[in-house]
Every structure is written in structure tokens, then in C-alpha cells.
Amino acid sequence: MSCKSCEERRQKLKAMYEQSIESITKVITYLTNKGGKTEQSPASADEPEQRIIVNTRRAGRAKQP
């Protein structure tokens, strides 16, 4: 038998675990449904207007040693 505070903590963790399972399931379902609709053909990926340009440099001043 566990103390009252340990039992309360266990119940909280169990509730958080259940919420996490629901959230992850919803996200997987969302991404699965979205994934089939947004795929593009390899030919369209080569078109310039379809390319995404990512700026990898950080703005601002560099750290001084």
C-alpha cells in the first residue's frame, strides 16, 4: 500500500500518459491523412517555383571568444 501523495502522483502521471497517447494518435492520424494529399511528383519538384529556399545563416552578431 502506498501513501496518499504517492497515489495522487501516480494518478496524475497516468492521466498525463493517457492524454499523451490521445495527442500522439491525433497527430499521426492528421499527418497520415495530410501526407497522401500533399505529395508532389518528382518532375514538379524540379521546377524553380516549387523549390523552397532556406536561409541557413543566422542574423545578428557572432559570439566573441
Q: Does residue 2 contact residue 10 with C-beta atoms inside 8 Å?
A: yes
Four-residue CA torsion sign, 27, 33, 36, 37: negative
CA distance 3 to 11: 12
Is residue 61 situated within a structural domain?
no
Residue 57 inside a domain? The answer is no
Q: Does residue 13 sit within a domain?
A: yes
Q: What is the pTM of this model?
A: 0.46
Summarize pLDDT for 9-54 with one digit per residue, the tens.
Answer: 999 999 999 999 999 999 999 999 986 655 555 555 555 555 566 6
Residue 59 lies in a domain: no
Q: Which residues contact 50 (CB under 8 A, 6 or more apart)?
A: 40, 44
In this structure, what C-alpha cell is assigned to residue 2? 502506498
Q: Is residue 42 part of a domain?
A: yes
- Residue 32's domain comprises 4-50
Report how many domains make up the chain: 1
Q: Answer for the pair 48, 58: CB distance below 8 angstroms, yes or no.
A: no
- Residue 55 lies inside a defined structural domain of this protein: no
